[in-house]
Homo-oligomer: A and B are copies of this chain.
Amino acid sequence: MKIKTISGAERFSLKRSIDAGTDEQRKTVRSIIEDVKANGDQAVRSYTARFDGIEIDSPLVTKEEIEKAYTSLDSQLLQVMRQAIENIREYHERQLQSSWFYHRKDGTMLGQKVTALDSAGVYVPGGTAAYPSSVLMNVIPALTAGVERIVLVTPPGKDGQLSPGVLVAAAELGIKDIYKMGGAQAIAALAYGTETIEPVDKITGPGNIYVALAKREVFGDVDIDMIAGPSEIVVLADETAIPREIAADLLSQAEHDKLSSSVFVTDSMTLAEAVSAEVNEQLKTLPRREIAEAAVNDYGCIYVAETMDEAIDTVNTLAPEHLEIITQSPEALLGRIKHAGAIFLGRYSPEPVGDYFAGPNHVLPTNGTARFSSPLNVTDFQKRSSIISYSQSAFEEHAESIAAFARLEGLEAHARSIESRERRNSK
C-alpha cells in the first residue's frame, strides 16, 4: 500500500468520479419508467423476462416461499439475525422524535407535528449483493418511524428464486409485500404503482446504475434516499494500534468493490510501514483478492502526519463514510471529529461490527458527503408540519405590522388577508 507524508498544501479527497450513467442508459431508464407508468404489471413482467431472464406471472412472494426460505437458512444465522434486529431496533428507537408545541404569553400556540410517511418502498439488490442486512437497515427505520405500508422489491434469479436470507430478514420484520422485480422497472412500479402495487411515498435501498438512475428520475414525485457511492473506510491510529487489525479493517472495505477506498491516517511512520506490509500479506489469501487489491492500489493510501492534530485535520477533510479511531484514548478525540458517517471507537469496534450487528444504520454518506449528510435515520421516514395558532389578542396586536411587512414585499393581497379580520365582529 502506498505511503504518503502529509504536506500542508495538499487537498485530500475521497471523491471518485462515480458512474453517473451514460446518455444511453438514462434514455433506457426513462423509457422503462414511461412504459411501466402506461402499462403497469404487464410492462414490469416483460422487463423481468428480458433483464432477469425469467417469466414471473405473479410477482408477490408466497407464504410457501417464505417457509422454504426458513428451512434453508442455517439456524445459527437466524439467531444472529434476530439479535441484530433487536440491536438495530433498540438504537433506532432512540431516534424517534416527538411532536411539540409551546404557548407564548399572548396566547399564541406554535408547534411542530411529527407524522410518519404513509408508505415506503425498499429496493434490495439480487445476486451476490442480496444482503439480508440491507433489508434490516432500510426496513427497521421505516417501521420504527411508524410507516404503515412497507413494500420490498428484489430481482429474482434466473430460476425465479430469491435469496433465503433476504426473505427471512423481511419475514422476521413482518413484511408481507415482497415482490420479485428489480431494476428501473421495480423503481417505476414503486413510484407510480401498477395494478398489483400501490405507489409509495419514499424509496430507499442500494442498486446498480439502472436503479440509481431510476431513483433520480422519480425523485420529486416520491422521496428517495441518497444515491450511495462505493464504500470507504478511514482508520486513524497511533503507535499503540496493532498493524494486523488495521490491515484487516482496511481490506474489509476494499473487498466490496474495486472503487472502494481504504485510507489509513497516522502520526507514526513505523506503524504505516507495518500496516502496509500486513495489507500485502493478508491480500494473498483473500477470496475476493482481485477486487480488494485493485481497490487498495487505485483508491487506497496511507497518510503519515507529523502530529495527531494534523492527522485529525486530514480525517475531517476526507469526511469518510466509516471512521475507525484506534488510539490510546479514542473517546478523547471524538469532540474534534467533525465529518464522518459512522465513528468506531477502539480496537474492539472494527467496522464490520457496525455493518451488521451493533445497531446504528449501515446506510451512510459516501464520497465526502458526510460533510453535509447523515446515516439513514428514523426521521427520514417522518415529516414535520408547522403549527400556527394565533390568539385574537396576539393577532390584533401585530396585524398592522404584518400587513406593513407584506406591503414592503409588494404583496397587497397578503396585507388584505390580514386586514379582512380587522373589522371585528362584522360578517
Contact = CB atoms under 8 A, between A and B. Distances in A.
A355 B409 CA distance: 11
A392 interface: yes
Interface stretch (A35-43, A45-53, A170-178, A240-248): A240-248
Number of this chain's copies in the assembly equals: 2
A282 interface: yes
Contacts of A386: 341-343, 354, 360-361, 364, 375
SS of A interface (majority): mixed
Interface string A138-163: 00000000000000000000000000
Nearest to A352: B414
A384 interface: yes
8 contacts: A223-B369, A252-B416, A286-B412, A287-B412, A288-B411, A342-B386, A352-B406, A379-B379
Interface in A320-366: 330-331, 334, 337-361, 364-365
Nearest to A401: B80
A387 interface: yes
A373 to B, nearest CB: 6
Chain A, interface residues (CB within 8 Å), range: 35 or more
A26 interface: no
* Top 5 closest pairs, chain A to chain B, by CB: A360-B386, A348-B395, A345-B389, A248-B420, A252-B417
B95 A388 contact: no
